[in-house]
Structure 1
Amino acid sequence: MAVVKPFRAIRPVKDKAPFVASRSYEEYSNDELRSVLQYNPFSFLHIINPGFKFNQSVKGAERFKLVHNRYLEFLENGVFLKDEAPSFYLYQIGKETFKSLGLFCATSVADYEQDVIKKHEDTILKREQLFADYLETVGFNAEPVLMTYPDNKGIASILQNEMQKPAEYDFTTPDKISHRLWKISDEHTIADLQGAFKAIECLYIADGHHRSASSTLYAQRKRAGQKKHAESAPYDFFMSYLIPESEIKIYEFNRMVKDLNGLSKKEYLIRLDEFFRIEKRDDDLYRPTKKHHFSMYLDGEFYSLYLRKKVYRFTDALSKLDTQILYKTILEPILGVHDLRNDKRIAYGYGKYNLIKMKDSIDQGDFKVGFSLVPITTEEIKNIADAGLVMPPKSTYIEPKLRSGLTIYEL
């Protein structure tokens, strides 16, 4: 049974919302980031890049303190307001290819600890600790964890009814993505939604494994420091955005490796032949078409690689995953890439035109060989999470990518 809770959001006043909402700052080029900070005084980027005010870079504990100060300034200057009643926040984000309709809410640390909220990625302890330190200092959570749940007619009906009401926010950002948000503060509707979610056995993290792990670590620290602990304290929850499974979009990450690990092209292809039936596709932009089928680009030519299923053994959900198959049959044993997260010889790419970018990078000599895969499915993610297994890094690129600053959860 999944616990979802309304909360009193800190959020932009209506006329400032289009200017406050920002993408993750890692998505901005240096020039774009500088331009937004210079010409948009309301951008949430000012809060998470507080050194801009002083024309200097700040890091660590000093940055965390300044983030808190910029946040207070946005409140003091009337850019942000705090809702009077605990609410759910219905949010639709859309672009030409698809739309997602979901719910901003507070989800339970206890559910995370008890595996009601399920994970499919490993987290790095150092990053968990750093973000827990960040939460301790800044006192708020502005980036929701993206979670998914099985499509549910009861929940969908409630949300569709709320969509008929006037939206609190309705705007389109320069990247042609539309944003609409409704505040749900009616007590009966809140109770109906909470009751409907009681029928949801599990929530699955789609994006935000480090954020949820760090929020849990922060809550554990707070509990440890108190003689008496109230189970409904704000830190016992973290902000999430919940959408049905049918409304997430999963893309693949391609892999590129800088060399053939000391092998000649002939030696390398002979090694591949153990696990794959290899067919040359010349210079056409060739994409794989089904599971356990890979596209490879090497020396100006595309190849299709078909897994020899009588040679490769499927033992569990992880062994059936294409990213794991590629790792276990090529990347690790042949190309010598053991640490997928930190090895400098491997790089990853995603996106609509990434096959072309991969080909160009290899043609220019930046990499020697590249691999393209079909996207992982939602069902595969669930199977991995249900089995308590972990996907290889960069197995999925998941949309929607949410904006920061539209709703903020105070700790």
Structure 2
Amino acid sequence: MAIVKPFKAVRATRDKVAMVSSKSYEIYTPAMLDSKLAFNPYTFLHVINPGYKYHKQDISGELRFKLVHNRYLEFKENEIFKQDKVPAFYIYQKITPTKSFCGIISATSVADYHNNVIKKHEGTLKQRELLFENYLKNTGFNAEPVLLTYPDNAVIASIIKKYKQQRAEYEFSTTDKDSHLLWIVDDELDIKEITTAFKEIDTLYIADGHHRSTSSCLLAERLAEENPNHTGNEDYNFFMSYLLPESELSIYEFNRFIKDLNGLSPHEFLIELDTFFRIENRNQEFYKPKEKHHFSMYLDGEFYALYLRKSLYNFTDALSKLDAQILYTTVLKPILGIDDIRNDSKIVYSQDKSDGLELKTKVDSGLFKVSFGMLPTSINELKEIVDADLLMPPKTTYIEPKLRSALTIYEF
């Protein structure tokens, strides 16, 4: 039973939202960030990059977090941000040149995370968890929802469809040719219907935002300990999420690029691969895998197709069937000597939705010796692994939609 709750979002006024909302901070290069800050006084980037006001960009730690809180207060004082007067759900639709995503922004339960109603598919780094917990504690808000997915539900879909026939509260486009629309659901009957529908859903899966959800849970534990009158209904017992039906989730693969062959020549490396793979040399013809357990490889100026010898590979559980795990256990660790695939500097991950040209160009540049490509992980594979209480290797999935910051803000 999944618990979702409407909340009073803090959000930009309709006339300014296109200028206020931003992509995630990490996406911007320094040059892009400087340009946004210099020419757009309304961008949320001023809030999360507070040192710009003082011409000082190297502010860090708790001082930065406190200044973020101050810039946030200024946006509210200047009425760039206003808080809704009644709790609501928010239907948000993002339309890209190739796909449309539409789901519900809500508050989701920390208790559901602890009770495994909200499940994760990736591990998290303790240092990042604590850093973001400290950020939340000092700023008092979260501006970017966790992306959760749920099985398609006819009741929820019908409510979304009804609101999409009405005028949106927000409707704007961005320079990357994406369109953004947001509807406010504050009708009590519709709120009850949404809440009831989610109570009938057994599991929500984290698609993106593992560190944000974990940090929110850590903060809730800390604030509960500090609050002698804790009831479990306080806002800090929930975190903001974007709930998207499974059919609308897009999952892409990450390519793997390796800087050296662990002392092997290309010929010796191919011989080592022959143990677990049937190898086809495609010369200059790019090979895109069409089936699970098939891989593309670019080595020494040529493309190869690798087909797993299933008779020699031991499938023991859902994780062992995952292509990213197969590549790790048969190639990366035993042959190339990459044990810690999260932190080893010899391996680099890249997500490229083009025709796979980067598999060739990055190796030809001399930065890498070999590259690997594979099919994307399916939503059913993800769920099977999660339901078995297993975790995927890092950089297994690149999931869309990527959400903008400050469309709705959750205070606690």
Distance in 2 between the 1:241 and 1:339 partners?
A: 32
Deviation of the 1:97 alpha carbon:
1.1
Deviation of the 1:188 alpha carbon:
0.8
Contact 1:292–1:322 (Cα < 8 Å) also in 2: yes
Equivalent positions of 1:2-401 (< 5 A) are 2-57=2-57, 58-353=59-354, 355-401=356-402
Distance in 1 between the 2:203 and 2:387 partners?
A: 9
Once the two structures are superposed, what CA deviation does each residue of 1:58-115 show, in whole Å capped at 9, x if it has no partner?
Answer: 1011100000000000000010110000000000001121111100000000000000
Deviation of the 1:303 alpha carbon:
0.3
SS of 1:26's equivalent in the other structure is helix
- Give the partner amino acid of 1:282: N
Distance in 1 between the 2:352 and 2:264 partners?
A: 30
- Give the partner amino acid of 1:68: H
Deviation of the 1:354 alpha carbon:
6.9
SS of 1:43's equivalent in the other structure is coil
Distance in 1 between the 2:68 and 2:296 partners?
A: 45
Deviation of the 1:359 alpha carbon:
1.1
Distance in 2 between the 1:168 and 1:76 partners?
A: 22
- Give the partner amino acid of 1:330: V
Contact 1:375–1:396 (Cα < 8 Å) also in 2: yes
SS of 2:263's equivalent in the other structure is coil
Identify if the C-alpha distance between structure 1 residues 257 and 288 changes in structure 2 by more than 3 Å, giving closer, same or farther: same
SS of 1:352's equivalent in the other structure is coil
SS of 2:16's equivalent in the other structure is helix
Once the two structures are superposed, what CA deviation does each residue of 1:161-184 show, in whole Å capped at 9, x if it has no partner?
Answer: 111111000011010000000000
Contact 1:92–1:179 (Cα < 8 Å) also in 2: yes
Deviation of the 1:288 alpha carbon:
1.2
Deviation of the 1:29 alpha carbon:
1.7
**Which stretch shifts more, 154-163 or 108-117?**
154-163
- Give the partner amino acid of 1:141: N
Deviation of the 1:287 alpha carbon:
1.3
Once the two structures are superposed, what CA deviation does each residue of 1:242-271 show, in whole Å capped at 9, x if it has no partner?
Answer: 000000111100000001000122221111
- Give the partner amino acid of 1:27: I
SS of 2:366's equivalent in the other structure is coil
Q: Percent identity?
A: 58
Deviation of the 1:353 alpha carbon:
2.8
Distance in 2 between the 1:18 and 1:223 partners?
A: 36
Distance in 2 between the 1:102 and 1:164 partners?
A: 15
Distance in 2 between the 1:404 and 1:365 partners?
A: 37
- Give the partner amino acid of 1:29: T
Distance in 1 between the 2:353 and 2:245 partners?
A: 24
Contact 1:349–1:358 (Cα < 8 Å) also in 2: no
Distance in 2 between the 1:174 and 1:226 partners?
A: 45
Query: How does the TM-score come out when normalised to structure 2?
Result: 0.99
- Give the partner amino acid of 2:7: F
- Give the partner amino acid of 1:88: F
Distance in 2 between the 1:225 and 1:78 partners?
A: 32
Distance in 2 between the 1:226 and 1:22 partners?
A: 34
Deviation of the 1:352 alpha carbon:
1.9
Deviation of the 1:19 alpha carbon:
0.4
Contact 2:255–2:352 (Cα < 8 Å) also in 1: no
SS of 1:334's equivalent in the other structure is coil
Q: Which runs of 5+ in 1 are unaligned?
A: none
SS of 1:15's equivalent in the other structure is coil
Query: How does the TM-score come out when normalised to structure 1?
Result: 0.99
Identify if the C-alpha distance between structure 1 residues 354 and 61 changes in structure 2 by more than 3 Å, giving closer, same or farther: farther
Q: Which runs of 5+ in 2 are unaligned?
A: none
SS of 1:310's equivalent in the other structure is helix
SS of 1:157's equivalent in the other structure is helix
Once the two structures are superposed, what CA deviation does each residue of 1:143-194 show, in whole Å capped at 9, x if it has no partner?
Answer: 1000000001111011111111110000110100000000000111100110
Root-mean-square deviation (CA, aligned residues, Å) is 0.8
Provide the aligned length of Structure 1 versus Structure 2.
411
SS of 1:376's equivalent in the other structure is coil
Deviation of the 1:26 alpha carbon:
1.2
Deviation of the 1:31 alpha carbon:
1.2
Identify if the C-alpha distance between structure 1 residues 354 and 217 changes in structure 2 by more than 3 Å, giving closer, same or farther: farther
Contact 2:21–2:406 (Cα < 8 Å) also in 1: yes
Distance in 1 between the 2:286 and 2:293 partners?
A: 19
SS of 2:15's equivalent in the other structure is helix
- Give the partner amino acid of 1:117: I
